[in-house]
Amino acid sequence: MDIRRRRPPFSSRPPPSSAAPKASDALPLPLYLTNTIFFTLFFSVAYFLLIRWREKIHNSTPLHVLTFSELAGLVSLIASFIYLLGFFGIDFVQSFVVDSPPRERRRRLDKSVPSKPILRMSQGSVVALNCEEEEELVKDVVSGQIPSYSLEARIGDCYKAAFVRREAVQRLTGKSLEGLPLAGFDYDSILGQCCEMPVGYVQIPVGVVGPLLLNGCEYTVPMATTEGCLVASTNRGCKAIYASGGATCVLLRDAMTRAPVVRFSTAKRASELKFFLEDPLNFDTLAVVFNKSSRFGRLQSIQCSIAGKNLYIRFSCSTGDAMGMNMVSKGVQNVLDYLQTDFPDMDVIGISGNFCSDKKPAAVNWIEGRGKSVVCEAIISEEVVQKVLKTSVSSLVELNMLKNLTGSALAGALGGFNAHASNIVSAIFLATGQDPAQNVESSHCITMMEAVNDGKDLHVSVTMPSIEVGTIGGGTQLASQSACLNLLGVKGANKESPGTNSRLLATIVAGSVLAGELSLMSAISAGQLVKSHMKYNRSSKDVSQIACLE
């Protein structure tokens, strides 16, 4: 029996507290904003009237004689008091009222509610829309009367909002979303953080490879992927590294970047700011201004590039255990505000001018680095190359030179001097809640192979200058991704040494890439690539029959 069928329909779930009518429902503003306005109004006006009446008593002025400002204040005090009384009073009274509609409303419901509930399938479980309120919500979304994005705030139940939105999408498009799961996910955890207007979630299988022996420690690495053979191949690389004594990984640099673009009336004026920013005497002052934005963000360097009268300023800073894009942006904004005093003619065109460069292949990241810059190496013994990898040292060295180096050069590759680094990076990113789009620069990698110890053993290394990872914030907070980070021992922020967890995660990514490169190159060298993919990446199952059974 499918345990997912045990989830009760909406009609059996208690209505959310925010479903109760409140005085702020009539206002076209968010609830927290209206509350703030009326609270502030109530206390500020009360304070104003008390001061004024105290002055009247001191001056022997009759209290009933009101000026226009006092009259307006009195009206504002009464209005805010009525709002606050209505906001808290209605909810308080309704907590004692039996949850049943009034006689007139019940009579209307009896006429309008169909005799049978409206049924929809959701991940194998039947959800009943037997309440007029839920059906009306769907109709209002379909008609455009209620914006789809406002359902969470209006309903107060993220799961129910996702269901209503899902049903509205199906009616609008005439397409079924039956294969997309809905139940079994915590939609509250993504509200305002990860994904807007959800209608379900996508299942990606997670495999594990290892143990990966890296810097004397063993790691079991989770990989989320839909590509067959990838996990098995990377696992074979881990086995070869383990049998040869492990890999060594070194963090070269840790600096996230953001590069705003500013414009002046002349190129001469833009160059003056360039010289000012790159002057070492000014760096300490700018660092103090920048570092005010965060407890963990620390400015490391400023690099400028000029194009006519436009200046691109690349700020680099450490960001603790966070990936740090927002942290850097706040620090950059502080510096720009500070510079506006001495350079009032500076026109800030954008907080990002693509000289950063984020989520795009760029030479600046390949050369200067972005995020974590890492190099990882291992010496694989001749015996392991032959018995585990089923090839020879000389064949691997030759293939690496002709494929990863020469072939990539002929293709005009930018940071792509490797076999398939992005495969491993993407799989670990998805499993641990990283930004998948940052796979672009995080997969910059050059794989080197060389025969050592009189040509008997293989020295293999990967150099990755821009691995962008974090262990707090974004998707790392979700339950599944948090569990994968916990498996690696890098969950959350490191309180004793901020930044340690994210740096360790970057080295694990590089070590896993090393294993993946080693195994794939060996498969190509031995002529096993097609055979292995036919074994692990092709299914002979009758999928249509499986779908019918489900």
Q: Which residues form the catalytic set?
A: 227, 359, 435, 533
Interatomic CA distance for residues 73 and 86, integer angstroms: 20
Say which amino acid occupies 350: G
**442, 454 Cβ separation under 8 angstroms:** no
Strand partners, 378: 460
Element (H, E) at 56: helix 31-59
Say which amino acid occupies 45: V
Q: Is 76 helix (H, G, I), strand (E, B) or coil?
A: helix
Q: HSE (CB half, 13 Å, CA atoms) of 451? A: 13
Radius of gyration (C-alpha) of the chain in whole angstroms: 31
Strand partners, 214: 217, 247
Interatomic CA distance for residues 25 and 28, integer angstroms: 8
Interatomic CA distance for residues 198 and 161, integer angstroms: 9
Interatomic CA distance for residues 248 and 376, integer angstroms: 6
Interatomic CA distance for residues 164 and 162, integer angstroms: 6
Q: How many helices (H) and strands (E) does the chain have?
A: 20, 13
**170, 137 Cβ separation under 8 angstroms:** no
